Amino acid sequence: MYSRGRTGQTLWLALLGILVVLTVSTCGGGGQEQSKARSLPEEQQALRPGEYSSGEFKPAFSFRVGKGWTADLEMPYALAITQGEDILGERKLLGFAKVEEVYKPSSTGTTTPAKAPKDIVGWFQQHPYLQTDKPEPVTVGGVKGVQFDVVVGNLPEDYYGMCGSDCVDLFSLSSEHRHVIEEEEKQRVIVLKGLKGETLTIVIASGTTEFDEFLPEAQKILDTVTWGGS
């Protein structure tokens, strides 16, 4: 048996203590760095897994993403992240919007947005070219609201909106951006009220064939939402 003298044993224990302190410090520092929310990139780019916070978009909030998500759009009235293409060739979307202008339905489409109604849920439900489910209660980040699924209904033969003849223009986000729904597409709409007086509309959208698979992926992110940032 090897016998260690007292001096050697004391030195060994001291070195071991220093090593433990350095290891804990390094791990602790890394954990703090990882838990800090990153700001969403200003340009469209892939997101590394982790926590992100909104910048321009208010009310501020943070959320966590896994692999495969891309920062797509952020401005004062809208924020969107996306995944790979669906059957329509469009990226699957999780979006947040403060809807201030909607496109009134008409038999020939419309190009002029109007002020959004206070009851945005009722507007969706009563839209003549949409088929919607009955609203159900939902909570996102502790804020209560309702959710319902939407698809395109029967369009008039001569119907033609800004997005074309096989889609419906829903609401305006800016002079260059608007939200639409296409045939062969399904969207889940979540409407929250009580966020500092704001009404927030959240949309989960993809082609109908991918929707059931994509919905849980989007829901994972909504389950991590914290209002007011991280």
Question: What distance in Å separates the CA atoms of residue 227 and residue 26, rounded to the nearest whole number?
Answer: 30
pLDDT of residue 16: 34
* Same domain (yes/no): 89, 123: yes
Band of pLDDT at residue 3, cut at 50, 70 and 90: very low
pLDDT of residue 160: 84
* Same domain (yes/no): 63, 148: yes
Name which of 221, 191, 227 is nearest 98 in CA terms. Answer: 191
pLDDT digits 0-9 by tens, 16-38: 343 333 333 444 444 433 457 88
* Same domain (yes/no): 31, 41: no
* Same domain (yes/no): 219, 119: yes
Q: How is 51-93 classified by DSSP, letter by letter?
A: EEE-SSSSS-EEEEE-TT-EEEEEETTEEEEEEEE-TTSPEEE
Contacts of 51 (CB under 8 A, 6+ apart): 35, 36, 37, 38, 62, 63, 64, 224, 230
- What are the two backbone dihedrals, phi and then psi, of residue 142, each rounded to the nearest 5 degrees? 85, -5
Question: What distance in Å separates the CA atoms of residue 66 and residue 223, rounded to the nearest whole number?
Answer: 13
How many distinct structural domains can be found in the chain? 2
* Same domain (yes/no): 26, 48: no
* Contact status, residue 79 vs residue 96, Cβ threshold 8 Å: yes
**Residue 147, domain extent:** 37-227
* Same domain (yes/no): 209, 115: yes
* Same domain (yes/no): 215, 152: yes
pLDDT digits 0-9 by tens, 180-205: 999 999 999 999 998 878 899 999 99
Name which of 90, 66, 69 is nearest 79 in CA terms. Answer: 69
